[in-house]
Amino acid sequence: MTKQYQLFIDGQYVPASNGRTMPSVNPYTGEAWASIPDADAADVERAVAAAGRAYQSVWRNTSGVARAALMNKLAGLIEAQAERMSIIETTDNGKVIRETSSQMKWVGRQLRFFAGYADKLYGQHVPLDQPDTLDYVMYEPYGVVGLITAWNSPLSLLANKLAPALAAGNCVVVKPSEHASASTLEFAALVQEAGFPAGVFNVVTGGAQVGQALVDARGVSRVSFTGSPGVGREIAAAAGRRLIPVTLELGGKSPNIIFDDADIGKAVIGALAGIFGATGQTCVAGSRLLVQRGVYEEVLQGVAGRAAKIRMGDPLDPQTEMGTVANEPQFKRILGSIERAQQVGARLVTGGRRATGPGLDKGYFIEPTVFADVSNDSELAQEEIFGPVLAVIPFDTEEQAIAMANDSRYGLAAGIWSRDINRVMRVSRAMQAGSVWVNTYRALAAQAPFGGFKESGIGRERGEVGLHEYLTTRNVMIDFSNTERDPFAIKN
């Protein structure tokens, strides 16, 4: 029996106004397990209106101390419900339970981190040239913000946006991916249980038309989006027409660079984590493995050998190392990329096919795939695949590695493996990437800012800088002199 979900608007679960629903398919079984509302612009208008009323009547006058208390309570609820919530998300998108479990705790960590800022949004006194004028800056919320998340890590990505938005004092309307909406709708019940006023948090599900309606809604003052560069461009254009700011966390084709003085064992593990963790369905995936020629074969054999042994199976089994691709369209896109790479002569070392075997035949499983001797200007090295496909590329010198790493329209993340601190400093400074990991990969912290260069996005999430994405400034100037001014000259 499929679970029937509803939208969450103004503190209540309600059906889509058009009555339409869409199936949510478990990518492990290939069968529908839930029904999600397929909303339209009318539902978006209802949600935005509810958020606007909540902001004007309650939330804008709620103290930072009170907001922090609610956020900390919500953090405790998601932490207590981590097991149940991780099962829901794994069922919905096929990511292994060992990762979704940790991501639920990450949601709590984000909420607690930003709750600490809620009552510390200090303004600033501005010293002016005029001694008889007081000037100060206030940091204020935008009001209603639209949050659009992707299917690969629904609640983790939501936390990146929601926690700073709430701490800053905004109300939100969330549009999760139509391919993975269940955990966000379940999360709404925890928001309700935590005691947030009705309308502060709203969820509207559906396809692209819902996202478009959210960006176009006149009551929305800022948009934050995580997803593909193509959709990001459309959102940026729509926001530009309305002259509202956007935060865009988009794709990547991240270089993971192994120098010949690296700890090879540790680097091989880092390379595996970078591309096969989360089935390669992560924007920071280290999908380009650049290896110095002196250790090239050793690294290639180490990565390919371990990749061939990755345990695939039921994502809910804690022993499973790699789950399914999240949905059928993405499954077909990945296989298409692999096929095209082989057609142009890329050397396949391992994988390259749909995975089959006991427990795998019904699911969207793809073998961990490694291509060797890849040209850095090929489609395989330049286009984001968003799946378990690694392009291994040799290089000779440090300068060559830097040039190859930066030869991409993306700039989200990069990895450096070396024991030479001087080299690490040189190369990390040269990387055109928002996150640079040294002797580790795919690590994160609530305190550390995250975002991309070039086509990997605009703005930052997490850290203090992520908070200011959801704040705008007001300047107040008070003349306390007793003198009259010249009305025909600006006062400065």
The residues that are catalytic are 249, 283
Reading phi first (left if > 0) and then psi (alpha if -120 to 50, else beta), residue 118 is in alpha
Our CA angle for 136, 120, 467, nearest 5°, is: 90
Distant-in-sequence, close-in-space partners of 399: CB < 8 Å, separation ≥ 6: none
Give 196's DSSP letter: P
Beta strands 453-454 and 410-411 are: antiparallel
Q: CA 280, CA 273: separation in Å to the nearest integer?
A: 9
Q: CA 231, CA 303: separation in Å to the nearest integer?
A: 33
CB 332 within 8 A of CB 385: no
Distant-in-sequence, close-in-space partners of 357: CB < 8 Å, separation ≥ 6: none
Q: CA 375, CA 67: separation in Å to the nearest integer?
A: 52
Closest alpha carbon to 246 in 10, 96, 460: 460
Cβ contacts of 85-91, under 8 Å, gap ≥ 24: 85/155, 85/183, 85/186, 85/187, 87/316, 88/182, 88/183, 88/186, 89/154, 89/155, 89/180, 89/182, 89/183, 90/315, 90/316, 90/323, 91/26, 91/28, 91/33, 91/182, 91/316
The residue type found at 316 is L
Phi, psi of 120 (to 5 degrees): -130, 30
Distant-in-sequence, close-in-space partners of 342: CB < 8 Å, separation ≥ 6: 348, 352
Per the DSSP assignment, residues forming a β-bridge with 299 are none
Q: CA 333, CA 328: separation in Å to the nearest integer?
A: 9
Coil, helix or strand at residue 28: coil
Q: CA 482, CA 183: separation in Å to the nearest integer?
A: 61
